[in-house]
Amino acid sequence: MSAIRLLVLGAVRQHGRAHGYQVRNDLEYWGAHEWSNAKPGSIYHALKQMAKQGMLLAHDIAPSTAGGPPRTEYELTEAGEAEFFALLRAALSQHDQKADVLSAGIGFLLDLPRTEAVALLKERVRGLEEWRSAVTEYYTPEGGPGQLGHIGEIMNMWVHSADSGAEWTRGLIERIEGGAYVFAGEGEPFVGVLAEGQENPYATRAVHPEDDR
Amino acid sequence: MSAIRLLVLGAVRQHGRAHGYQVRNDLEYWGAHEWSNAKPGSIYHALKQMAKQGMLLAHDIAPSTAGGPPRTEYELTEAGEAEFFALLRAALSQHDQKADVLSAGIGFLLDLPRTEAVALLKERVRGLEEWRSAVTEYYTPEGGPGQLGHIGEIMNMWVHSADSGAEWTRGLIERIEGGAYVFAGEGEPFVGVLAEGQENPYATRAVHPEDDR
DNA sequence: AGAAGTCTAGTCAAGTTTGACTACTTGCCG
DNA sequence: CGGCAAGTAGTCAAACTTGACTAGACTTCT
């Protein structure tokens, strides 16, 4: 699964009600276009698809005050709320998620209660450790390693990345357990969306200036 | 771009001539179904598409000796050869590639001359360093970090992974410069495909026993 | 004032990925 | 010897992603 659905659901959810362009802007604000496949086509597709599947409610709205075609506003249904949390939990706890999914998960981390966030991250560490040992076993045939040739370097890479991922996750767990951040149900929540009309301070910044593909 | 094209081209190339099922088996042999989207549909699609685009030559072959529908064998054209090396170079040198692409690149590393392999990996390290500093800048607004809230953790994750990726790459460069492995043009090449009829020693091993999605 | 550019909001065709399914053969078990 | 699991080779529809494109309204420069 890609990160799009989680990102879109999360964005709509923080607004309460949002149209595609708003979602698109939030994702850019979060830098998500840099580390995920959050392109217009994907976003609008996800919105329509999830509306069709009953996770979002679509309201047709008169053409906006500021030009452009008529908009559609979306709102989470109960099924959408459930899906959001399911995706969020999966993003945080499963080690075999691409980095974009994990990033999105971190972005919505505070929508969970503190204890659950910690539990999910601990499960993630456990998964990484298992995966690590599975990889070493798989790529270690009868005669011990060394006869693998350079293919062993693939294993090496995965082991390295599992270790580093686990280390980072442990650090995050520590910070959370140490009382950092304000989680769900702990008071004034963190608001990470652009208000109507607020400009995006990062909009024109190129994070990726060398990227000219 | 996903890793599929590189994997498929590389597999066909090592055989000289191969049909889809053979490619499918090689990828499983390499463990690629674990770390990439190498599913039957994707493989056959890639073969057909690349044949249509002139990178592969398709030969229709009589139904195999051992059951199943008629097969098609493929062979690289010159354009295919060029594409293979272009993808391989991109996979190794660009930091902003998903892990599956890098893995595939490592798998075909020895198809390049030693000096070029090192050069590409060094470029990769450079890219990672640039990306690292771009991320820290992007997520460090006027007032210094700290007012980001948990969103800073996303940055933290990317920085961590850039550092760890660079470290691993440097290690690999060292091993290669230290004389490890036999690269293109240095004598008997490493053969990483299953011969006709050879059984896959890993075929039934589950690398991922906990994965029950 | 007119041209050029940007903002808003979204569509579309082409390409890719997924996961389940087909159809035929051989090996093996009781 | 009947059946059924496993292997061989591949197809297909549905979903998703990509990158380019549309079209109106407002802004800015000359």
What is the structure's pLDDT at A193?
Answer: 64
Taking CA–CA distances from B169, the nearest residue in chain A reads: A157
Minimum CA–C1' distance nucleotide for B67? C25
Count of Cβ atoms closer than 10 Å to residue A68 Cβ: 9
CA distance A19 to chain B (A): 23
Which chain B residues are within 8 Å of A105, Cβ to Cβ?
none
Give the CA-to-C1' distance from B55 to D19 in angstroms: 22
The answer to which of A164-178, B34-48, B53-67 has the lowest mean pLDDT is: B53-67
Buried b (16+ CB within 10 A) or exposed e, B140-162: eeeeeeeebebbbbbbbbbbbbb
Q: Which residue has the higher pLDDT, A138 or A201?
A: A138
Measured between CA atoms, how close is B149 to chain A, in angstroms? 7
- The letter for the amino acid at B117 is A
Mean pLDDT for the stretch of residues A56-70: 76
Given this model, what pLDDT does residue B198 score? 59
Which of A138, A157, A175 is facing B103, going by the closest CB pair?
Answer: A157
Query: Is a pLDDT exceeding 80 seen at residue B67?
Result: no
B183-202 burial by CB neighbour count: b if 16+ within 10 A, else e?
beeeeeeeebbbeeeeeeee
Region of poorest pLDDT, from A92-96, A104-108, A191-195: A191-195
A211 with B96: Cβ contact below 8 A: yes
Q: Which pLDDT belongs to residue B211?
A: 35
Q: Residue A205 above 50 pLDDT?
A: no
- Give the confidence band of A212 by pLDDT, cuts at 50, 70, 90: very low
Q: Give me the amino acid identity at A53.
A: Q
CB pairs under 8 A between A and B: 113
Contacts of A95 in chain B (CB under 8 A): none
Instruction: Round the average pLDDT of chain B to a whole number and report it.
Output: 86
CA pair distance A166, A160, nearest whole angstrom: 10
Please give the structure tokens belonging to residue A70. 């008529």
Q: Which bases on strand C have an atom closer than 7 Å to a protein beta carbon?
A: 7-13, 15-26
What residues approach strand D to within 7 A at the CB?
A: A 2, 4, 37, 39-42, 45-46, 49, 66-69; B 19-22, 25, 40-41, 44-45, 64, 66-72, 203-204
Confidence tier at B65 by pLDDT (50, 70, 90): low
Contacts with A176 from chain B: Cβ below 8 Å: none
B91-145 pLDDT, tens digit per residue, is 999 999 999 999 999 999 999 999 999 999 999 999 999 999 988 887 776 555 5
Q: Which residue on chain B is closest to A149 by alpha carbon?
A: B181
Q: How far is CA A14 from the centre of its chain?
A: 14
The conformation of residue B110, written as its DSSP 8-state character, comes to G
CB-CB contact of B11 with B27 (8 Å): yes
Q: Which of A118, A138, A153 is the best substitution to test chain B (most B C-beta atoms within 10 A)? A: A153
Q: Which residue of B has its CA nearest to A193?
A: B151
pLDDT (0 to 100) of residue B140: 74
Q: Kindly state whether B149 is in contact with chain A, defined as any CB-CB distance less than 8 angstroms.
A: yes
Residues B164 and B129 sit within 8 Å (Cβ to Cβ): no
Predicted confidence (pLDDT) at residue B178 exceeds the cutoff of 70: yes
Residue ranges of A 3-32 with Cβ closer than 8 A to chain B: 30-31
Consecutive H or E run containing B42: helix B40-52
Which of the four pLDDT bands, split at 50, 70 and 90, describes residue A208?
Answer: very low
Structure tokens given for B94: 């660009």
Cα distance between residue B44 and residue B100, in whole Å: 19
Using CB atoms, which residue from B35, B110, B134 is nearest to A209?
B134
Determine whether the interchain pair A158/B110 forms a contact, defined as Cβ–Cβ distance below 8 Å: no
- Rounded to the nearest integer, the mean pLDDT of chain A is 86
